[in-house]
Structure 1
């Protein structure tokens, strides 16, 4: 016990000595004179420092847009000069592919905004999402899931509660394939015409059935036919769900030709776009080609939740 007390006392004394103002000032002086002082005279270090502003972007706050309603924030990026220098030191030449970035979060986040529908992701984020509303079309689901798997693409499936009740195994299949599931009401009513109590009942009942069948909680709600009123959005928000709309509609329920469907989407493809579709014959037939064309334009395809995240996708200097 006495030996332990002596060791403890020694540690306290050592800590006190190291943390004196004189020692701190001395250590700070050594740090200042060490690596940075050497690098300041290094042409590679100077090149990284001088080029850094070209690649840096300020963060973008989430906001309510007059047209697009709620827009998520997007991280800024800053060049980590020391880490980048270390990454390039071996070859001794500036290489933008070896730049190391740190991400800077915005001050205002999507959750800070008042309840509002979301029609798209951030306009600077090179990602798009597939919104697949499911209340029918079982015969086309397997083909669509196979195509998504082939391209390693995750989509967001918004499931009608009554459909899940009748097809729990298909709902499980969607989740097992790695896709996101959301709430699409219980019986596909016109949500804008429902009383608050009935709207809440539609959402709660569907959440319970989806969780019971897939063990997944819903954080997203897509109103049938895009029909809602402000109260609908507030109820979803109270249930911890964001109301999701769309940017581009395939109008696949009208059975267009695959070529028409593809052109309809590709003519409007852009950063942050959310593409509405259903399990239909034209969608199943065009999905493979559609994914290929979207990827050729260097857009990533992710779930709605992925699209709404603030993390910046860094593609060299073009992002």
Structure 2
């Protein structure tokens, strides 16, 4: 006598569970709203209508070249953006402070320079926030820009950066200076591909130090103003506003 109601109740329970699973699957796979996707999307360049460009340096090694790079930038009155790894900043707090004191923009490059696409979203958030705390403690600056190690841009790292309050920055010109080519090659990679709003990726290497004065000279001769990435993004926001 009890078998039939029991079975009906069990079937009803299974139906409810199945419906919940379908609803959860729909929610997880539901497309993100356009404003959310736009906020998460990495930035490769600034406003194409303004003759400005940004020099960026990803720093997790090469500390021996930082003083020379800072001197060259100071001599030429150029502001750059330094994306600094948290572990490097801990190891070289004085150099980290010098970069900030020189008036350059400080960005976040994660803590231990892992492959972000191999990490979970929570692990990526930990990398970003740990570095955020270190950079603030050493410089008094709370960065708002994040350059993912290796330029990896999977969903986990993009969502992590957005969750941590960061804008993800990549590049439109890669000097590939980490391979330490001849300085003339580094210079050509910049000057032959330069365009309005370009974000130029560099690292602290000996060839970069030797190429940097010529890069700055040629860009100035071509009429480019070298600014921080944040300044470059202001121009991008103005352009977007004009077309809304």
Given the two structures, how large is their TM-score scaled by the length of structure 1? 0.62
Alignment of 1:156-235 (within 5 A): 156-235=81-160
Q: Structure 1: 5+ residue runs without aligned partners?
A: 1-109, 314-319
Q: Is the 8 A contact 1:125 1:312 kept in 2?
A: no
Quote how far apart the aligned CAs of 1:152 are. 0.5
Quote how far apart the aligned CAs of 1:112 are. 9.3
Aligned to 1:101: none
Quote how far apart the aligned CAs of 1:232 are. 1.2
Is 2:45 the counterpart of 1:120? yes
Q: Is the 8 A contact 1:128 1:301 kept in 2?
A: yes
Alignment of 1:266-277 (within 5 A): 266-277=191-202
In 1, Cα distance between equivalents of 2:39 and 2:212? 35
In 2, Cα distance between equivalents of 1:202 and 1:302? 27
Indicate which of 293, 306, 313 corresponds to 2:218.
Answer: 293
Alignment of 1:125-144 (within 5 A): 125-144=50-69
Aligned to 1:15: none
Larger Rg: 1
How many residue pairs end up in the alignment?
204
In 2, Cα distance between equivalents of 1:112 and 1:144? 36
Quote how far apart the aligned CAs of 1:228 are. 2.3
Given the two structures, how large is their TM-score scaled by the length of structure 2? 0.80
Kindly provide the CA deviation profile for residues 88-144 of structure 1, in whole angstroms up to 9, marking residues without a partner as x: xxxxxxxxxxxxxxxxxxxxxx99934100010011111000110000101111111
Indicate the RMSD between aligned Cα atoms, in angstroms.
Answer: 1.7
Q: Is the 8 A contact 1:119 1:246 kept in 2?
A: yes
Q: Structure 2: 5+ residue runs without aligned partners?
A: 1-34, 239-244
Aligned to 2:186: 261
Quote how far apart the aligned CAs of 1:311 are. 8.0
Q: Is the 8 A contact 2:122 2:160 kept in 1?
A: no
In 1, Cα distance between equivalents of 2:67 and 2:82? 13
Aligned to 2:8: none
